[in-house]
Amino acid sequence: MPRPINGITEADRLPRRHPSLWRDAGRRLLRNRLAMAGGIIVLAMVLIALLADVLSPYDPIKQNYNAILEAPSLRHLVGTDALGRDALSRLVHGARTSMTVGIFTQLIVLAIGLPLGALAGYGGGRTDNLLMRFTDIVYAFPELLMVILLQTIFGGSIYMLFLAIGLVAWTNVARLTRGQILSLKEREFVLAARAMGATGAVIIWRHLLPNSLGPIIVTVTFGVPRAIFLEAALSYIGIGVKPPTPSWGTMVQDGYGAIFSFPHLVAFPALAIALVMLAFTFLGDGLRDALDPRGR
Amino acid sequence: MAEDNILIDVQNLTKHFPIRRGIIFERITGSVQAVDKISFTIRRGETLGMVGESGCGKTTLARVILGLMPATSGHVYFDGEDVCSLKGEKLRLLRKDMQLVFQDPYASLNPRMTVEAIVRTPMKAFNLYSNAEQKEKVGEILNTVGLTDFHAKRYPHQFSGGQRQRIGVARALAASPKFIIGDEPVSALDVSIRGQVLNLLKDLQDEFHLTYLFISHDLSVVQHVSDRVAVIYLGKLMELATGDDLYREPLHPYTQALLAAVPPPSPRARRTERVVIHGETPSPANPPSGCRFRTRCPKAIVECAEIEPPLKEERPGHVVACIRV
């Protein structure tokens, strides 16, 4: 038996919580007030989106010609639009559109960007060169133009809109993942894993990905409001979500013609867009600080 | 008999790193000669110490021996198998028997894995035991290195440097290897912890019949653990002898200078003759002709620039590469 080694004290034996880096980050996030405010708003928006049918007082696409362009009142809390549709119900259902766009496009972004970036970073050499030049080409293309092009090709269904936005927005995640993997690959613990006999798959899954996930989570969080904004912009110029499906972008556009007579029709959806964007940005900032405490 | 006893046989091992210039139209403009035609053997159960200044190619040598880097030329026979010619899955399977302990106990442990997961890495890699057995085994190995099973669920950042290094040792032991390379395994540790880890390594050697290649820049550390010692300078083997011979009677001027630089245990014990070398180590990208040490050697003569000194066996089991011996 080896000689006993000092350094283990009685205090060492006491049961303690053993925080992983993830749990540490979670604690830091919970302590960040601004980020938590953002998180609560995001959570509320998700709930509103999920429960849109229950929460909205009226059918969002039902037109009522007896209540056209009403100002906010007790019956219609944020008024009605030019077709007599209840604006609150449309706002609530608009949240559903926006959140779906935000989340689904980021899922597509992850599905394309993560494996592509990981492959480029881990493979290196020619694979890396090829994949990254392709990424550069997509990145160099004007985002809006590309989405408009794809929308024209795919036609206007909302799923195609996810796909269109996802297909232009993945480049950031791909580049970030590649950079992360590239720098982690040279770290000693990865070499150690290789020396211990770990296979390539184990190295990617257990060593490279978990350690590169932090910045990727942050980027994706920032990606959600960007996608929401892009959808709103597209809907505003009439090639996003097709009427009568409610979307904040279309609502702004609908109300824009009479902005001086009926400002509430523009103000509320615009506020909703701004609120969601801010909430996600605060949450993203908080996540960044929490996941990389040295980066501040 | 002699053949049978040899676990590691390194023959003319060379590792050059090409120096590339240009971004798109890359061309090779030279090479860093990190390891140059080094040969030696390690017997079963033996500890070969390897000393040299930083940048002399010790770490590169370790990585080439383990097949973590391809060799430029030469061979490494591990138990009769040529590591340098193996690739992919065959090479990976060989790693069960040869493991590595790293210098930096902070960089070499994945911060997102528990100690248990870290130590289990080699077991999982080679499907060694069942799930439950693996967990039990982790506890045993942690005990062996002076930690306990209640450490298993913790993360590396909850340990001190010395404890982390023991986790690194535990990981290297997990697959019951035959051969372990310690790449400066104690240089990052405090002097007080150093002795503990060194003794631990020695005890483990006795218990598991391990063979070590022990790399360090610290002569006293190497003396403490090694049976034989190899001295490396700028990627070249300068002298190789049993620890006793080398420390009592160093033949190569470089070894003499290294030993002279070790502070004596008491002021009165200072040896009269002291070899002092001056200047910087030359760049391995452009090493001196002939003997690589000649630019700093106090005994250098004109011939040293012309003849690349061959290794010759000056005494039984004591080889040295110097024409002035």
pLDDT tens digits, residue range A67-93?
777 777 777 777 777 777 888 888 888
Tell whether the model's pLDDT for residue A13 goes beyond 80: no
Yes or no, beta carbons of A197 and B96 under 8 Å apart:
yes
Tell me the shortest Cα–Cα distance from B93 to chain A, in angstroms: 7
CB B49 within 8 A of CB B228: yes
Yes or no, beta carbons of A202 and B207 under 8 Å apart:
no
> Is the CB of residue B255 less than 8 Å away from at least one CB of chain A?
no
Minimum CA–CA partner of B202 in chain A: A2
**CA B180/CA A255 separation, integer angstroms:** 75
Yes or no, beta carbons of B200 and A5 under 8 Å apart:
yes
pLDDT band at residue A168 using 50, 70 and 90 as cut-offs: confident
Residue A15 pLDDT? 56
> Is the CB of residue B23 less than 8 Å away from at least one CB of chain A?
no
Domain range A47-60+75-295, CATH architecture: Orthogonal Bundle (1.10)
Residues of B within 8 A of A291 (CB-CB) are none
Write the residue in A20, A196, A210 that is nearest to B125 by C-beta: A196
Tell whether the model's pLDDT for residue A3 goes beyond 50: no
**CA A203/CA B110 separation, integer angstroms:** 11
Tokens of A80: 């009605």
Interface of A with B in 117-136 (CB under 8 A): none
Cβ count near A256 (within 10 Å): 12
Yes or no, beta carbons of A189 and B155 under 8 Å apart:
no
Residue ranges of the alpha helices (H) in chain A?
A: 10-13, 21-31, 33-50, 52-55, 87-123, 125-140, 143-154, 158-169, 171-185, 188-195, 200-202, 209-236, 248-256, 264-291
CB A76 within 8 A of CB A67: yes
Q: Which stretch of A158-167, A193-202, A203-212, B45-54 has the lowest confidence by average pLDDT?
A: A158-167
> Is the CB of residue A19 less than 8 Å away from at least one CB of chain B?
yes
- Residue B215 CB-half CA count within 13 A: 24
Interface of B with A in 114-153 (CB under 8 A): 114, 117, 121-122, 124-126, 144-148, 150, 153
Mean pLDDT score of chain B? 86
Residue B61 pLDDT? 92
Q: Quickly tell me which residue has 């040490």 as its tokens.
A: B293
CB B50 within 8 A of CB B229: yes
Q: In Å, how far are A5, B102, B165, B181 from B194, measured between CA atoms?
A: 12, 14, 10, 17
Yes or no, beta carbons of A193 and B110 under 8 Å apart:
yes
Interface of B with A in 53-112 (CB under 8 A): 66, 68, 92-93, 95-96, 99-100, 102, 104, 107-112
Interval A276-286: pLDDT, tens: 999 999 999 89
Residue A293 pLDDT? 61
Average pLDDT score over residue span A141-147: 83
**CA B171/CA B165 separation, integer angstroms:** 10
pLDDT band at residue A7 using 50, 70 and 90 as cut-offs: low
B312-315 and B318-320 strand pairing: antiparallel
Residue B298 pLDDT? 85
CA-wise closest residue to B92 among A123, A196, A185: A196
Please list the residues that pair with B81 across neighbouring strands. Answer: B78
How many Å separate Cα B274 from the centre of its chain? 27
CA-wise closest residue to A99 among A248, A257, A291: A248
Among B89, B110, B124, most A C-beta atoms within 10 A, so best to mutate, is B110
| pTM exceeds 0.90 for this model | no
Yes or no, beta carbons of B200 and A196 under 8 Å apart:
no
Residues of B within 8 A of A195 (CB-CB) are 66, 68, 95, 99-100
How many Å separate Cα A275 from the centre of its chain? 14
Yes or no, beta carbons of B146 and A7 under 8 Å apart:
yes
Among A196, A209, A294, most B C-beta atoms within 10 A, so best to mutate, is A196
Residues of A within 8 A of B92 (CB-CB) are 197, 199
Specify the amino acid at residue A81: D
Mean pLDDT score of chain A? 84
Residue A4 pLDDT? 47
Cβ count near A123 (within 10 Å): 15
CA-wise closest residue to B150 among B160, B162, B138: B138
Residues of A within 8 A of B168 (CB-CB) are 192
Cβ count near B198 (within 10 Å): 18
Write the residue in A6, A18, A199 that is nearest to B155 by C-beta: A18
**For chain A, what percent of residues have pLDDT higher than 70?**
92
Residues of B within 8 A of A20 (CB-CB) are 112, 114, 155
Which positions ≥6 away from A157 have C-beta within 8 Å?
none
Q: Domain segments of chain B: what residues? A: 2-97+177-256
Size of interface A-B (CB pairs under 8 A): 106
> Is the CB of residue B250 less than 8 Å away from at least one CB of chain A?
no
Q: Quickly tell me which residue has 């010692």 as its tokens.
A: B229
Tell whether the model's pLDDT for residue B202 goes beyond 50: yes
Residue B262 pLDDT? 77
Interval B273-310: pLDDT, tens: 667 777 788 888 888 888 888 888 888 888 888 888 88
DSSP for B14-62?
A: EEEEEEEE-SSS-EEEEEEEEEEEEEEEEETT-EEEEE--TTSSHHHHH
Interval B88-138: pLDDT, tens: 888 899 889 999 999 888 889 998 898 999 999 999 899 888 888 898 889
Burial class of A15 by CB neighbour count within 10 A (0 to 12, 13 to 18, 19+):
exposed
Yes or no, beta carbons of B154 and A18 under 8 Å apart:
yes
**CA B187/CA B190 separation, integer angstroms:** 8
Residue A11 pLDDT? 55
Residue B76 pLDDT? 92
Yes or no, beta carbons of A198 and B121 under 8 Å apart:
yes
CATH number of B2-97+177-256: 3.40.50.300
B236-242 and B228-233 strand pairing: antiparallel
**For chain A, what percent of residues have pLDDT higher than 90?**
22
Tell whether the model's pLDDT for residue B178 goes beyond 60: yes
Which positions ≥6 away from B82 have C-beta within 8 Å?
B75, B76
